[in-house]
A and B are shown apart, each in its own frame.
Chain A
């Protein structure tokens, strides 16, 4: 539990962080809340030679109403996302999920940008942002660009982020009154990573389902969309949910580990998708 020695730099601005990344090369790691990185450094599973601390960039902590969407500053802590009134009013699933991921100390230290940039398919927020079809604003030496969630998550702990880029902002759609949502997390202990998580965002019309977007946690090397379920739910009545949910594991390749076999994960994805969509319909 004693990390290898490392140097420590404080980023004064996003530009400064990018400059430091360029200067120190690939051995440098950005750190914000530190609740993913520090534990693996203590186990000597990661040994970056330099940590670049983003945590003092107060101007990246915000939630703004930008008309069609909410813009959430990358360094906004989970607890602040959870408690934010704009988030609660317009995109409740993000606030709800920020309040259940990890444990209280993770929620008070960890940031929304950090958990997305970490790219862990067992993290709760990536599947939620994927189901919302959110976008990320990233900045590198050549300026800003936006990336859709579906393009951002590329593989296990691997994202579209270049080594000298920083996540600045997350954009999520404002959900209307006819949109129901749910995030159902299944884990052994509440503080654990999800064995399976299901994010459901359901557009309702006249008691039926207009369309649905389903994001799955821990069902592959990235957060994934249960597209077969989405297709089956399009225009379906609530009676069709159970049947549609049965294809939640289609095309997924979950891992087998001490917590769950791949088979059990697939089973849970089906059960949990049904329950998540049912909950979304009633919310």
Chain B
């Protein structure tokens, strides 16, 4: 462990030999295409699929009514955050009313995908458009159009939480800063779109579902709950999966349909999402409105924080929709220690695509609000933003420590991360350059932005998760078996989709057993092959699943040691194990390799009395606490004040995810995460018009940045082990998406502060930046129309009133 061994997965992935779901071709397989609603809200007044049935290659076509009996559970939401949460029935195909653009009205099954798609044009359907609600504030107003008429409200839930005496903290404060932030909707763009192949298991009662998912185990349960098919008749396989970022932490209507259609038609059924469907019908991320207040002393010491949050559910609840904001709630205080914190979260239905987990899922939103408002506090007090942060950091600790959010952070040393990032960036030098540019009236100004974050990983302790409203346990399972030939199989309940578990789990195993990583094969993603597990999301895999592998290896070694002692005719206490060899203490010549021990265990000709044959151990690890990686980032922006173009010149990130097993993989996670974080800050955002039409329906309009838009990242690490698990590891998958957005936006505001700019919404695309300069200079640019598209028309107005409570 600790070495940057090349990823085992890569040769197949980069030479076109990966086993994507879309590569699966089975005899007699049919394909389906879905007729999706062009309206955000409408009654279906007439629907006739018979025209499609007459088209070439079409085998079947169904309406929602035709299939309603097949999905008693509908599309399942597995999260309940309050007792009175409203969870509307979510049919895979609607029967009377469409509730967002992309909602499904009918399905056509044909001999190939092209024929199915063409035949959709022959389904006869009439819509009667209904009033549409696209923004959360309107949705909560009296008399607003209702997404679900029968619920009588657009409020899905309301969840308050308070720790400490918040009113008292605000009464005692010298200063109060108030800010209003928009977390725009983001569209996940996994390189592999969703795809599913379902078939009747040949020779068995039951079904096999190949699907591009992060969660094969969850899918098995949820598909059973949706369809009523017994869980033990569903086998789910996640083949090679090309990214997810949370979007494949879900079980979608298309997966239910594939299963139901193979049940009905008896042949294998395939569905492959196209990119347009990806944009409309795969979950979106973020979608929050944040009102946050910070109470502090004149010296910059934080006394308390208040947050009011609106979270956009979209039209339905997907698997975890309502729990995304609550799961980030406790993280708003971030890396700062103070006593009083309150948050109120309202979940709101709108006629838009459902939201759910997207890389960070609640934590990027929390870190953004916290790191933005601490900069606002620094401006208010005319202090250096680094200084305000340092005043409020926890003293370094390595044992669980209570937080204002009601959690226990595991270990932290923000001072070390902050020192290192400021040294790496040459902070003083950057400030000098900034000063020079200001004095020279350089049209391109320099901005320096900080973020200091922590996040919650290693999901998780089962009891704590149940308290959050996520049932079903957070533990993870591993099975490690030394084979009779001396090779090793590791079966894990985690389900990688780009993270490199095959490599990292091999390294963990190789270290523990004294074999080479090449001796190890990692099995994953097939519910018939691996022990039941909890899959991969939320940077849980290493800190829970990797630990299960490590502990299962220790069990293997413990048993092998007993057998080795027996073989060497020595006392077990005298046996030493190093580099794959058991030897007798003081007599290194008396030894036996773990492979020999393994063979003997399987032969079972001579094992100690009572020992089971074989060398095959299972471990389930339920962690005592979450893990809390942390870090400090500095973003250096160049902002062209004449054009509004903001460009990341340099990005310095010092992240602490505990001990690192594979530095190449960790750096890769950071590069990708930072790119996605910068993407939210500068480029991406789903835009809807007032009728609920998605205006950013393709990669032409939705601004995913490419390499030219990104800097060379300068990365470094500090290492603070976690007490939550025996390897001390914390997780790193979301560090970049959490750390980057506030660092980028703080840097832009820093660059433009001489112009009077105090606020910037995301994404900070050129026109928005230029408009902000014009507005701050009193030039009255017509920025309203553009900002309204992102739902933040009032942001600047509110910003101006932010110190009224002082």
Give me the interface of A with B, judged by CB distance under 8 Å.
1-2, 4-5, 39, 43, 103, 186, 188-192, 195, 256, 258-261, 263-264, 267-268, 271-272
Contacts and interface: CB of A to CB of B under 8 A. Distances in A.
Nearest to B121: A4
B766 interface: yes
B12 interface: no
Given A1-B276, A186-B643, A188-B766, A261 B706 contact: no
B683 interface: yes
Interface string B380-422: 0000000000000000000000000000000000000000000
Given A1-B274, A2-B274, A271 B642 contact: yes
A261 B709 contact: no
A186 B645 contact: yes
A258 B114 contact: no
A190 B645 CA distance: 12
Contacts of B766: 186, 188, 195, 260, 264
A270 to B, nearest CB: 9
A171 to B, nearest CB: 32
Contact of A189 (B643, B687, B706): B706
Contacts of B113: 2
Contacts of B698: 43
Contacts of A188: 683, 703, 765-766
B781 A263 contact: yes
B114 A264 contact: no
B706 A258 contact: no
Interface in B145-173: none
B117 A259 contact: no
Contacts of A263: 781-782
14 contacts: A2-B113, A5-B114, A39-B700, A188-B683, A188-B703, A189-B709, A192-B700, A256-B785, A258-B687, A258-B786, A261-B782, A261-B785, A264-B767, A272-B643
A277 B676 CA distance: 36
Nearest to B277: A1
A43 B276 contact: yes
A186 B781 CA distance: 20
B118 A4 contact: yes
A191 B767 contact: no
B770 A1 contact: no
A39 B276 CA distance: 12
A23 B672 CA distance: 52
Interface of B: 113-114, 117-118, 274-276, 642-643, 645, 683, 687, 695-696, 698, 700-701, 703, 705-706, 708-709, 765-767, 770-771, 781-782, 785-786, 789
A274 B489 CA distance: 66
A174 B703 CA distance: 38
Nearest to B708: A190
Contact of A190 (B114, B706, B767): B706
Contact of A271 (B643, B687, B765): B643
A261 B274 contact: no
Given A2-B274, A264-B766, 15 more contacts: A1-B274, A1-B276, A5-B114, A186-B645, A188-B765, A189-B709, A191-B706, A192-B700, A256-B785, A258-B701, A258-B789, A259-B765, A260-B767, A267-B770, A272-B643
A191 to B, nearest CB: 6
Contacts of B683: 188-189
Contacts of B703: 188-189, 192
B767 A261 contact: yes
B58 to A, nearest CB: 14
Give the 7 A-B residue pairs with the shortest CB-CB distance, closest first: A1-B274, A190-B708, A2-B117, A271-B642, A264-B767, A260-B767, A1-B275
Q: Is the interface of A mostly helix, strand, loop or mixed?
A: loop
Nearest to B771: A264
Contacts of B276: 1, 43
Contacts of A2: 113-114, 117, 274
Contacts of B687: 258
A5 B118 contact: yes
A264 B765 CA distance: 12
Given A2-B114, A5-B118, A103 B645 contact: no
A5 B113 CA distance: 12
A268 B641 CA distance: 11
A258 B696 contact: yes
Contacts of B114: 2, 5
B21 to A, nearest CB: 17
Nearest to B120: A2
Contacts of B695: 258
A267 to B, nearest CB: 7
A243 to B, nearest CB: 16
A261 B786 contact: yes
Contacts of B642: 271
Contact of A268 (B117, B643, B765): B643
Contacts of A191: 706, 708
Nearest to A190: B708
B112 to A, nearest CB: 10
Contacts of B700: 39, 192
Nearest to A268: B643
Contacts of B643: 186, 268, 271-272
Nearest to A274: B642
A43 B701 CA distance: 13
B132 to A, nearest CB: 19
Given A1-B274, A2-B113, A186-B645, A103 B118 contact: no
B800 to A, nearest CB: 23
Contacts of B274: 1-2
B705 A189 contact: yes
A64 B764 CA distance: 45
Contacts of B709: 189-190
Contacts of B767: 259-261, 264
A103 B706 contact: yes
A39 B701 CA distance: 13
A43 B683 CA distance: 23
Contacts of A5: 114, 118
A263 to B, nearest CB: 6
A150 B709 CA distance: 34
Contacts of A268: 643
A1 B193 CA distance: 12
A59 B645 CA distance: 43
Nearest to B709: A189
Given A1-B275, A186-B645, A264 B705 contact: no
Contacts of B696: 258
A77 B703 CA distance: 26
A103 B766 CA distance: 20
Nearest to B115: A5
B184 to A, nearest CB: 13
A103 B770 CA distance: 26
A256 B786 CA distance: 10
Contacts of B765: 188, 259
B340 to A, nearest CB: 42
A260 B766 CA distance: 8
A271 B770 CA distance: 13
A4 B120 CA distance: 12
Residue among B276, B643, B705, B782 with the highest chain A CB neighbour number at 10 A: B643
A102 to B, nearest CB: 11
A271 to B, nearest CB: 5
A2 B765 CA distance: 31
Contacts of A260: 766-767
A192 B700 CA distance: 7
Contacts of A103: 706
Contacts of B786: 258, 261
Contacts of A195: 766
Contacts of A39: 700
A128 to B, nearest CB: 20
A267 B769 CA distance: 14
A174 B274 CA distance: 47
Nearest to A186: B643
Nearest to B702: A258
B708 A189 contact: yes
